Structure 1
């Protein structure tokens, strides 16, 4: 279900926060609070990206980063350094050790997720394409599964195609004709009111108890994921 992110961190409050936010965004989450153990686990698990704390009780994040980048198998593994060290020389040291990005603590959830996604798009574009996320909604295109708040949602093939189309351009309003062309490309005889039927089915499926409405009806215009 999405890219595999490995966090190396010894502060439990940060582990808890990062785990909650990454799982909410559809990432698979792995963690270790021990540097030596983390180095071994990263090589075993082969994550798509590593979030690496600088200050660890045994092996420092800088040393872990250098060790991974010396290994031909992991030279291209994206690494984001997490640290309270905010001076320019510290950032230069992290980048010179092989880190691809650097985030200073404390950091915001939105910034962290944005940097992870940006780095995955550059380094592992296929991984980024295999997963689509909008708020608490996740589409796993490899398994053709949909999740909301980590709960799996069962969709029919037409509702799945419709949602996948919406999520590519959230907030954009599509007319019924545009949806017919893009969701039913091989069947030009489908009537406009068929779109309304599948919109209702999609709404019913993704609107779990306690979640907000995601499909917006725009009078005389169409529908959007908003």
Structure 2
């Protein structure tokens, strides 16, 4: 009998506590394991260390932007299988386009509906 597959790990990189708490709530309800960072400066190191299945990545972060983090992750072939969902309050078409050009797999404008986030997370896991 093979061991049960582990639950997907999601790294939340979000500096606003109220948003991070909402994300943690959804992740817990959906059966995801999760970790959180509030600053961008240590995100790439944590991604390399923990190799999460999905990174929920805010665009505007202290120390390093989500765009820079996304570009560094995408430049590392060992991290190619990690899904990145960019999040920003500036939900313009330009922001969406830039996120996808930087290598993000998906983009969610804040504020977001929890059901839409849940659906996107589940879509990313089944896409793997």
TM range (shorter): over 0.9
- Cα RMSD (Å): 0.9
Tell me what 1:38 maps to: 43
Structural mapping, 1:85-124, within 5 Å: 85-123=90-128
Q: Is the 8 A contact 1:84 1:106 kept in 2?
A: yes
The separation in 2 between residues aligned to 1:17 and 1:119, in whole angstroms, is: 19
- Larger RCO (alpha carbons 8 Å, 6+ apart): 2
Give the TM-score, by structure 2 length: 0.92
Q: Is the 8 A contact 1:5 1:27 kept in 2?
A: yes
Which stretches in structure 1 are left out of the alignment for 5+ residues? 124-226
The separation in 1 between residues aligned to 2:40 and 2:15, in whole angstroms, is: 9
Which stretches in structure 2 are left out of the alignment for 5+ residues? 1-5
* 1:81 maps onto 2:86 in alignment: yes
Structure 1 stretches of 4+ with a deviation exceeding 4 A read none
Aligned residue pairs total 123
Give the TM-score, by structure 1 length: 0.53
The separation in 1 between residues aligned to 2:26 and 2:106, in whole angstroms, is: 19
Q: 2:55 aligns with which of 50, 56, 66?
A: 50
Larger Rg: 1
Question: 1:37-91 CA distances to partner (integer Å, 9 max, x unpaired)?
Answer: 1111111011011000000011000000000000000123100001011111111
